[in-house]
Amino acid sequence: MLSPRRAIVAAAFILTVLFLLSRSHNAETPIRTAKPAPAAQDSKTNAAPPNRPAPAAAGRPAAEAGAAASNKSPSGQKPMMDISKLPLREQLAHQYPYVLESKFPAYIWQTWKTTPADESFEFREQEASWTELHPGFVHEVITDDVATALLRLLYAGVPDVVEAYRALPLPVLRADFFRYLILYARGGIYTDIDTSAIRSAIEWVPDSVPRNSVGLVIGIEADPDREDWAKWYSRRIQFCQWTIQAKPGHPALRETISRITEETLRRKRSGELNDTATLDRNVIEFTGPAVWTDTVFKYLNDGRFFNLESGPAGTVDWRNFTGMEEPKKVGDVLVLPITGFSPGVRQMGAKEYDDPQAMVKHDFEGTWKPENERHIGEIVETVVTEKPKKEKPKA
């Protein structure tokens, strides 16, 4: 357990390292204060070319509405303005604008109660698999204390988000929220600590898909093709959130963050956060894959981001992703088949770890994990029962 002061120092150190790296590599994630707008942004995000290729897309990503794009001065420096009066979503958009054409930042983010520097760190092999397959990436394992300090720095301009994060009473809720927040602010890959890399993230996006047309890479957690799916799973298609790759400012992350923030603050005011036993049973809907899945689908059907008229008719729903064997891009979202992030589960069409589509190996066994509740079906019964219980991460 770090003292609060040391946690802040650690968070500031991480930000300083990122800042120096971004300057020396001319990366696309400069620190927030003094953010030079990427040169290409104004012209490209404001005017989506009419014939932008969007294979299998509901439509092409349209220009992002909001203050972010229109407020640039010619020098590219964002004028100082008080964003605290803006609605939450606009504050977030202003703070971290989305640039589809930018590169995926070379970061890997993980959270756990200890870091590899601690002798007791339990996930050395898994952690090393990411470092080995991603040379040149900045890889950070962040503890709860440092996460709080880091988010206070990154979201100083959006105080509701910081208040919500600090109000969440369970480590599992904060761990869920942290992944959306760090990816929204800095981009890169978030992956759970007990997840190993099988293939480099370079391979997640197939060669046939231009990298500058994808802003979010996600996997399928569950695709239960059975009549009684609702008995076992919260959604007919559930996207996983143990591994996500994103460019900073992605609108689906923004919506997820906004929903969790609003719901957390509502519950804080009504006193519902005090009842941690009830919260513990509702992690999936509150911060977990159910809210994530819902906001991704909402985004894919949102006329503000996609030109729905010019795309194929019909809403995008689970039918568009069921039974997939290859990655599929809809708009700027690349969805990997279930084998991508959930290989080896021996159901729902998932293939084995040696399949060319298998990208990460996720450990479903941790009883501290929210997906424990969502995999009330076969997976938990066959795997979890024979394993010793893992300790819950503590605050």
Ligand X SMILES: *[C@@H]1O[C@H](CO)[C@@H](O)[C@H](O)[C@H]1NC(C)=O
* Closer residue to ligand X (CB): 118 or 275: 275
**Cross-strand bridge partners of residue 77:** 36
| Total site size for ligand X, rule CB under 6 A | 12
278 binds ligand X (CB under 6 A): no
- The residue behind tokens 């589960």 is 345
138 binds ligand X (CB under 6 A): no
Report whether 373 contacts 284 (CB < 8 A): yes
CA distance 365 to 291: 22
57 binds ligand X (CB under 6 A): yes
Phi and psi torsions of 190, nearest 5°: -105, 140
Query: Both tokens of residue 43?
Result: 């012209």
Smallest gap, in angstroms, from Cβ of residue 274 to ligand X?
4
CA distances from 165 to 160, 257, 307, 315, 354 (A): 9, 10, 34, 33, 38
CA distance 143 to 171: 11
Stretch that binds ligand X, among 55-63, 82-90, 159-167, 368-376 (CB under 6 A): 55-63
Half-sphere exposure (Cβ direction) of 106: Cα atoms closer than 13 Å: 15
3-state helix, strand, coil in the chain (%, to 5): 40, 10, 50
* Closer residue to ligand X (CB): 8 or 324: 324
Binding to ligand X in span 215-274, by CB under 6 A = 271, 274
**Cβ neighbour number for residue 289 with a 10 Å cutoff:** 25
CA distance 332 to 261: 25
Q: Which of 175, 168, 155 is nearest to 393 (CA)?
A: 175
* Closer residue to ligand X (CB): 210 or 314: 314
Report whether 161 contacts 181 (CB < 8 A): yes
Binding mask 298-327 for ligand X (x = CB under 6 A): --------------xxx-x--xx-------
58 binds ligand X (CB under 6 A): yes
Instruction: Candidates 330, 333, 379, 380: give the one binding ligand X (CB under 6 A).
Output: 330
Smallest gap, in angstroms, from Cβ of residue 271 to ligand X?
2
Smallest gap, in angstroms, from Cβ of residue 312 to ligand X?
3
* Closer residue to ligand X (CB): 57 or 147: 57
Binding to ligand X in span 279-298, by CB under 6 A = none
277 binds ligand X (CB under 6 A): no
Stretch that binds ligand X, among 53-61, 136-144, 230-238, 251-259 (CB under 6 A): 53-61
* Closer residue to ligand X (CB): 30 or 311: 311
- Residues of this chain that interact with ligand X (CB under 6 A) are 56-58, 271, 274, 312-314, 316, 319-320, 330
